[in-house]
A and B are shown apart, each in its own frame.
Chain A
Amino acid sequence: MNFEPRIVGFCCNWCSYRGADLAGTARMKCSPNVRIIRVMCSGRVEPTFVVKAFELGADGVLVLGCHPGDCHYSEGNYKTMRRIPLLKKMLSQMGIEKERVRLDWVSASEGDRFVSIVDDMTAKVRALGPFKNNSKEAKHG
Chain B
Amino acid sequence: MAKLKLALYWASSCGGCEIAQLQIGDKILKLAEVADIVFWPVAIDVKYKDVEAMPEKSIDVCLFNGAVRTSEQEHMAKMLREKSKVMIAYGACAYGGGIPGLGNMFNRELIFERAYLETPSTDNKDKILPQTKYKVPEGELTLPEFYDTVKTLGQTVDVDYTIPGCPPEARTTWLALEALIEGKLPPKGTVISHNAKAVCDDCPRKRDVKKVKKFYRTFEIIPEPEICLLEQGLLCAGIATRGGCEAPCPQANMPCTGCYGPVDGVIDQGAHFLSAVSSVIDSNDPDEIQRIIDGIRDPVGTFYRYSLPDSLLRRARIK
Contacting residues, chain A, for B105 (C-beta < 8 A)? 93-94
B177 interface residue (CB < 8 Å to A): no
Contact A89 B312 (CB under 8 A): no
* Cα distance, A52 to B267, chains bound together (Å): 10
Query: Known contacts A47-B274, A141-B148; is A68 also within 8 Å of B290 by CB?
Result: no
Q: How large is the interface on A (under 10, 10 to 19, 20 to 34, 35 or more residues)?
A: 20 to 34
Which chain B residues in 273-315 approach chain A with CB under 8 Å?
274-275, 277-279, 281, 283-284, 286, 289-290, 293, 296, 298-300, 303, 309, 311-315
The answer on a CB contact under 8 Å between A83 and B155 is no
Contact-residue size bin, chain B (C-beta under 8 Å from the other chain): 35 or more
User: Which one, B270, B278, B289, B312, contacts A135 given CB within 8 A?
Assistant: B312
Residues facing B in A38-72 (CB within 8 A) are 46-48, 50-52, 54-55, 68
List, in ascending order, chain B residues with CB within 8 A of A55's CB.
312-313
A55 CA to B290 CA in the complex, in Å?
26
Interchain CB contact under 8 A, A51 and B314: no
Instruction: Report how far A36 CA is from B170 CA in the complex, Å.
Output: 49
Q: Per-position contact with A for B222-244: 1 when CB-CB < 8 Å, else 0? A: 00000000000000000000000
Check A134 for interface membership: any CB of B closer than 8 A: yes
Bits for A74-103, please: 1 = Cβ < 8 Å to B, else 0. 000011011101110110011110000000
Known contacts A90-B299, A93-B316; A47/B147 CB under 8 A: no
Contacts of A81 in B (CB 8 A): 284, 286, 289
User: Is the CB of B317 closer than 8 A to any CB of chain A?
Assistant: yes
Instruction: Return the CB mask of B244-276 against A: 1 if under 8 Å, else 0.
Output: 000000000000000000000001101110110
| B318 within 8 A of partner (CB) | yes
Q: Are A90 and B317 in contact (CB under 8 A)?
A: no
Q: Which residue of A lies closest to B150 (CB)?
A: A138
* Interface: B319 (CB within 8 A): yes
Task: Tell me whether A82 and B281 are in contact in the complex, defined as CB-CB below 8 angstroms, given that A89-B293, A89-B299, A95-B318 are known contacts.
Answer: yes
- Say yes or no for B12: interface residue by CB 8 A criterion: no
Residues of B within 8 Å of A89, CB to CB, are 293, 296, 299
B279 touches A83 (CB 8 A): yes
Q: Which residues of B contact A78 (CB under 8 A)?
A: 284
Please give me the residue from chain A that is nearest to B278 by CB atom: A83
Q: B193 an interface residue at 8 Å Cβ cutoff? A: no
In the complex with contacts A94-B316, A141-B147, A48-B272 CB distance below 8 A: yes
CB of B316 within 8 A of CB of A46, answer no
- When chains A and B are docked, how far (Å) is the Cα of A83 from the Cα of B276? 9
* 5 smallest beta-carbon distances between A and B, as pairs: A95-B317, A90-B299, A83-B278, A47-B271, A138-B314
Residues of A whose CB lies within 8 Å of any CB of B are: 46-48, 50-52, 54-55, 68, 78-79, 81-83, 85-87, 89-90, 93-96, 132, 134-135, 137-139, 141
